[in-house]
Amino acid sequence: MTASKTAAAVKPARAARKEPPAEAAAETSELMMGELSELLGYALKRAQLRVFEDFLQSVAPVQLTPAQFSVLLLLDANPGRNQTEIATTLGILRPNFVAMLDALESRGLCQRTRSPSDRRSHILMLTDKGRATLARAKKLVATRHEARLTELLGRDNSEALLAMLAKIAREF
């Protein structure tokens, strides 16, 4: 691929247009995307769906969804936090986090324990199996998923993309 040097150098790389059949016969010609091609929200949604789909496939050996992977990552980086803290940090509502945790805990990947200081809280921790699974998942994500993505865009562009998306989520 023609890897560009800077973020702003990325070109639309228009897929070579297929010529509309010269014969006046073809009933099913290509539809015009029109101004949809310029809609950032539309591109964002389509890219997100594709990336999640590829993530799922890449990480299939450990059977983790993007959401589950994000929970394990956060538990690893923040051992000893409670459900509310982990859930809200991920933008997950507390009621919806219960079933998610049930699934992870029933697979032996993490553990709930009542906090001695505040017996209302459930302290969350990865189990050894959870850490092992996370490590394996990280490797799959890096080698199967992100490597290909970085290859597609180029390293610099890939980092620029991540930075812009984070900025949108944070400041828009």
17 is a site residue for DNA (CB under 7 A): no
Asked if 128 and 117 touch (Cβ cutoff 8 Å), the reply is no
**Residue closest to 59 by CA, chosen among 150, 125, 142, 127:** 142
Residue from the set 3, 36, 47, 67 that interacts with DNA by CB under 7 A? 67
Which position among 62, 64, 83, 140 is part of the footprint of DNA (CB under 7 A)?
83
Q: Footprint of DNA on residues 91-130 (CB under 7 A)? A: 92-98, 101, 112, 117-122
Question: Which residues touch 122 (CB under 8 Å, ≥6 apart)?
Answer: 82, 83, 112, 113, 114, 115
Query: Minimum Å distance from CB 125 to DNA?
Result: 12
Residue 150 CB coordination number (10 Å): 16
CA distance 94 to 164: 29
Q: 165 is in the binding site of which of DNA, its own copies, none (Cβ under 5 to 8 A by kind)?
A: its own copies
Binding-site string for DNA from residue 47 to residue 66, where x marks contact by CB under 7 A and - marks none: ------------------x-
* SS3 category, 122: strand
Judged by beta carbon, residue 57 or residue 113, the one nearer its own copies is 57
What is the smallest separation between the CB atom of 85 and DNA, expressed in angstroms?
Answer: 7
CB neighbourhood size of 4 (10 A): 16
CB nearer to its own copies: give 50 or 61: 50
Q: Which residues bind DNA (CB under 7 A)?
A: 65, 67, 82-84, 92-98, 101, 112, 117-122
